[in-house]
Amino acid sequence: MLKVAVLMGGMSSERAVSLVSGGACAIALRTVGFDVTEIDVTHALWEQLKFADPDVIFNALHGDWGEDGRVQGVLDMYGKPYTHSGVMASALAMDKHRAKHVLKSVGITVPEGGLYKRVDVAKSHPLETPYVVKPNGQGSSKSVYIVKGAVTEHGGTILNDVEMGEDVVVESYVPGRELTVAVIDGKAVCVTEIIAAESENGWYDYDAKYGEAAAVHTCPADLPVYVSTLCMDWASKAHSALGCRGVSRADFRFNDENCTEDNVVNKIVMLEVNTQPGMTPTSLVPEQAAHVGIDFAQLCRWMVEDASWPR
């Protein structure tokens, strides 16, 4: 029986989400016949892996250290097959500022903006309002601020939000609908629209992603074919350009006002690519996989079968 170690928890601000993802994946993998060990990752990961002695490592970590290339470096040195993206793709996708340059170079539209010092952003507007301030190296939409009015609206909070890091991404706010596309084995699955009706912020923030019944997912999204086609094409292209492996997820904003097939490339913006998409009961990738006939256990099994070393 193949021994699989599921890495979960960890030390990032997304620890709680990772524990849910990892727990769900561990249960699913046991149902399809794997011998599963759950590892709540610490800085002693090497010793934890040696004790577990797995044949394959399933990475269900989220956030910094877990999906930014550092754990992937440990796994490369350990020398056993592992899931998801390797060091380069993980580090690049997690660095939102640099990832945008790569995406733009292959013809994908990204938001205008740049990298700024958090302390400076807290004192004065770096861009015309409205704009978005977010960490350069985190996921799950934590510590994301939409600034629409005076600097004082979020200035003090941003200044004191040290978990954002010293450098933050500031981007022009892009109005429109929230869309996302899962990519499995290099192929885009479908497009989901997310309506975060219950979010106090009115968009797909951390609470909307992981709270109970906090968002409505329409899968597949009710969109013109040319919109869905472009989103799926860009998601696959981004997966390839960043060097992703296994599963990734690309997030978009779509401004459908006066959108036509001729101007659609100016109406869709890719916000980011996630190399460690959530695998919780409310997560988007399992929903899209189910839409094309791949249930959760089958998806987890495929991830194990797709694992390799090095990535």
Which stretches within the chain are classed as H helix? 15-31, 45-52, 70-78, 87-94, 96-105, 118-121, 155-160, 206-210, 225-242, 284-291, 296-306
Q: Which string of b and e fits 211-250 if b means at least 16 CB within 10 Å?
A: eeebbebebebebeeebbebbbebbbbbbebbbbbbbbbb
Q: What domains, with CATH codes, occur in the chain? A: 3-84+299-306 (3.40.50.20), 93-109+175-295 (3.30.470.20), 113-172 (3.30.1490)
What is the rounded CA–CA span in Å between residue 178 and residue 217? 10
Residue 210: active-site member: yes
Position 197 scores a pLDDT of 60
The pLDDT averaged over each successive group of 10 residues in the chain (311 residues) is 96 91 97 98 97 98 92 97 98 96 97 94 93 82 84 85 91 94 97 75 49 77 97 98 98 95 95 94 91 96 97 93
* pLDDT value for 139: 59
Q: Which of 274, 287, 301, 311 is catalytic?
A: 274
Among 66, 210, 246, 283, the active-site one is 210
What's the gap between Cα 41 and its chain centre?
Answer: 20
14 is catalytic: yes
Q: For this structure, is 251 an active site residue?
A: yes
User: What integer pLDDT is reported at residue 199 of this predicted model?
Assistant: 45
The pTM (predicted TM-score) of the whole model is 0.90
Which pLDDT score is estimated for 214? Answer: 64
Among the listed residues 118, 177, 245, 249, the single catalytic one is 249
Count CA within 13 A, CB hemisphere, residue 265.
7
Active site residue 274: yes
From the list 178, 251, 301, 311, the catalytic residue is: 251
Residue 154 has a pLDDT of 83
Of 13, 14, 139, 245, the active-site residue reads 14
Q: For strands 187-195 and 177-184, give the pairing.
A: antiparallel
Exactly one of 67, 178, 205, 272 is catalytic; which is it? 272
